[in-house]
Amino acid sequence: MRRAIELSRAKMQANEGGPFGAVIVKDGKVIAEGWNCVTSRNDPTAHAEVVAIRAACDALETFELRGCEIYTSCEPCPMCLASIYWARIDRMYYANSRDDAAAIDFDDEWLYREVALDIDKRNLPTERMMAGDAVEVFREWAQKPDKVSY
C-alpha cells in the first residue's frame, strides 16, 4: 500500500494525472504498478487500477489475474471495480475512501447510481440497433470450437 500511495503522490506532482496509484502483487512480489494517466495520455479509462491491470496482464501474459492482490490508494470507481472483478483478482486493499475522493471533486456517486438504473432510465440517451445482425455473431461464437472462454 505504501508504494501505491507513493505512486499517487509522485505522479500527481509530475502532472501525469490525478492523485491515484495502484500496485498488483502475486506471491508477495510486485508484478505491476499503475497510476492515473487520464490527462497525460488523453485517455479517460487510464485510471490507476486499469493501468496496473493492463501492466500485470502483459507481465504475466494472461487475461486474468487469479492469485493476485491489488493495493490501491483509493476505493475504486465503478469502472475500476468492474475491471478488478473482470480480471479475477483475489483480493483488494484500499486507502482513501470514495467519500475522501468526493471531498476533492472526484465524486463517482452519480455513476454508482446511474449504472444501477434500467437502461431506459439512465441519463445517457441509448437506442438499440441491428440486434438481429449482432446476435448472429453471438450464435457463431457459441458454436466456435476453438474459442478461448473467459
The rounded distance, in Å, linking the Cα atoms of 126 and 26 is 40
Q: Which of 62, 12, 59 is nearest to 37 (CA)?
A: 12
The rounded distance, in Å, linking the Cα atoms of 126 and 57 is 32
What's the gap between Cα 15 and its chain centre? 21
Query: To which H or E segment does residue 86 belong?
Result: helix 78-86
For residue 53, what is its C-alpha cell?
A: 491491470
Catalytic residues: 49
Count other C-beta atoms under 10 Å from residue 9's C-beta: 13
